[in-house]
């Protein structure tokens, strides 16, 4: 495997402050399903980190855009946590490709 492929396949997990995350495409979820997520995280912990991308713009105080994991972030908030494990990726090209990069 080439060095560049190995580098892109390596995932670094960082604990990031929840207040530094901006939701790109917020959604409302079923309360029952949400409570199941909260109970699962409270009893066994977070099984899969959220995914975020560093912010390029400095129009607000957020340092990261949420790519995946809104329910997990909201569950951590409900459980009184201030940081959450996250995989940090460079997602600008992905958002441009799917046409959903925030303005």
At 10 the three-state DSSP class reads coil
Range of the domain at 33: 22-98
42 located within any domain: yes
Q: Is the residue at 68 inside a domain?
A: yes
> What is the average per-residue pLDDT within 13-19?
95
- Is the confidence at residue 78, as pLDDT, over 90? yes
> Looking at the 3D structure of the chain, how many domains does it have?
1
Identify whether the C-beta of residue 56 lies closer than 8 Å to the C-beta of residue 102.
no
Q: Is residue 9 assigned to a domain?
A: no
Residue with the bigger pLDDT between 10 and 73: it is: 73
pLDDT tens digits for range 45-66: 999 999 998 887 667 777 999 9
More confident residue, 76 or 61: 76
> Is residue 16 domain-resident?
no
Indicate whether this model's pTM tops 0.95: no
CATH number at residue 88: 3.90.1530.30
E strand or H helix at 43, and its extent? helix 31-44
| Residue 60 resides in a domain | yes
Question: Can you read off the two tokens belonging to residue 43?
Answer: 């009893």
63 compared with 92, residue with greater pLDDT: 63
């Amino acid at each position: 495997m080439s060095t560049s492929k190995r580098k892109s396949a390596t995932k670094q997990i960082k604990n990031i402050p929840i207040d530094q995350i901006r939701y790109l495409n917020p959604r409302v979820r079923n309360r029952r399903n949400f409570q199941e997520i909260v109970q699962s995280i409270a009893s066994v912990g977070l099984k899969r980190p959220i995914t975020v991308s560093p912010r390029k713009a400095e129009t607000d105080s957020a340092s990261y855009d949420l790519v995946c994991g809104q329910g997990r972030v909201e569950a951590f908030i409900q459980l009184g946590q201030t940081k959450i494990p996250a995989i940090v990726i460079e997602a600008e090209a992905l958002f441009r490709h799917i046409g959903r990069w925030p303005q």
